[in-house]
């Protein structure tokens, strides 16, 4: 097992850029901000749902596993972790935008 797959599980989430993320969201993908509620309140991408990575996988219970999901955080570390958790929970297509600044 590689280091990456040991952190994120098999089938590591794809990392995408801002234009691709915006296109996916415009086409109906779910945008998830995995930062803390305080960070989210301080500014977030319009339309994003706040599901802090610390609450996963329980926090994902209300999300559709059939929808494309795009996750982001402050620097990219939490979004990568969250994407791996969501994939492990059976979410079919999860993309990691990384930092909010990439939007």
- Cα 12 from Cα 5, distance rounded (Å): 7
- Catalytic entry in 24, 69, 73, 86: 73
Identify whether 73 is a catalytic site residue: yes
| Partners of 50 in the β-ladder | 33
The helix (run of H) or strand (run of E) holding residue 12 is none
Q: What angle do CA 3, 12, 20 make, to 5 degrees?
A: 135
> 3-state SS of 29-85?
CEEEECCCHHHHHCCCCCCCEECCHHHCCHHHHHCCCCCEEEEEECCCHHHHHHHHH
Q: Catalytic residues, which ones?
A: 73
């Amino acid at each position: 097992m590689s280091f990456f797959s040991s952190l994120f599980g098999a089938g590591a989430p794809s990392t995408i850029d801002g234009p691709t993320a915006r296109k996916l969201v415009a086409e109906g993908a779910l945008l998830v901000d995995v930062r803390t509620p305080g960070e989210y309140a301080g500014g977030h991408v319009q339309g994003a749902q706040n599901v802090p990575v610390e609450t996963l996988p329980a926090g994902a219970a209300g999300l559709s596993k059939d929808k494309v999901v795009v996750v982001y955080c402050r620097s990219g570390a939490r979004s990568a972790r969250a994407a791996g958790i969501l994939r492990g929970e059976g979410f079919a297509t999860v993309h990691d935008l990384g930092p909010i600044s990439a939007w």
